Amino acid sequence: MAEKQYIVDALSADEAWRVFRIMAEFVEGIEELSHIGPAVSIFGSAREAPGDVYYEKAREVARLLGTQGFAVITGGGPGIMEAANRGASEAGAPSVGMNIQLPFEQNPNPYATISISYKYFFIRKVMFVKYAMAYVILPGGFGTMDELFEALTLIQTKRIRSFPVVLMGKDYWGGLVGWLKKTMLREGKISPGDLELIQMIDEPDQVVRHIQKFVVL
């Protein structure tokens, strides 16, 4: 019985210390990002390679955003994240990589000029939203979908200010958007205005112009 109580006490102590680790990650993120200026968060698959269509689109849209005075924030890993950090650094803009500690795929890319490592997903997600004036989302997997619908939910429920959410890749996202219209909207699970939170735009220069309509530097 005493041994069982010792285990319970040890677990409770570990939970208490976890609060301090969480606070430390918040403090580090805020200290690193509070000075970067207007920023756009870019998301997409970790599995794209240089030369792939969406890798190059991410690189170009980030470069153009950088030339227009925006910092670029990514998840800090390979693929689309690497491409966006690369484009921002080529433009001489702040290129932020917010890496997450994962057992696979998520090694920091070399193009982030500001690199932060997170243990907790939810802290990283707060930072993406807190410092972004727009989201640009290229084809990706579950993580990309998570960031997309997290932002839409927060905007829809007015928990954060509304900002542009752009999907790049009509061929990739068209089926999803069609399902939102034909199923979710038709069955009354969302409102017509909710669909206006999303724009599908394929060309990097058009993405930048769209963001500039809503963000005045």
- Dump pLDDT digits (tens) for 174-207: 999 999 999 999 999 999 999 999 999 999 999 9
CA 172 – CA 139 distance, rounded (Å): 6
pLDDT tens, 36-87? 999 999 999 999 999 999 999 999 999 999 999 999 999 999 999 999 999 9
Domains contained in the chain, number: 1
Q: The domain containing residue 42 runs over which residues?
A: 2-214
58 within 8 A of 44, measured Cβ to Cβ: yes
Are 166 and 199 in contact by the 8 Å Cβ rule? The answer is yes
Which residues lie across from 39 on neighbouring strands?
71
User: Residue 67 corresponds to which amino acid?
Assistant: T
Q: What is the CATH number of the domain that holds 173?
A: 3.40.50.450
pLDDT at res. 12: 62
pLDDT at 68: 97
Question: What is the per-residue pLDDT for 7?
Answer: 44
Tens of pLDDT, residue by residue over 24-35, are 999 999 999 999
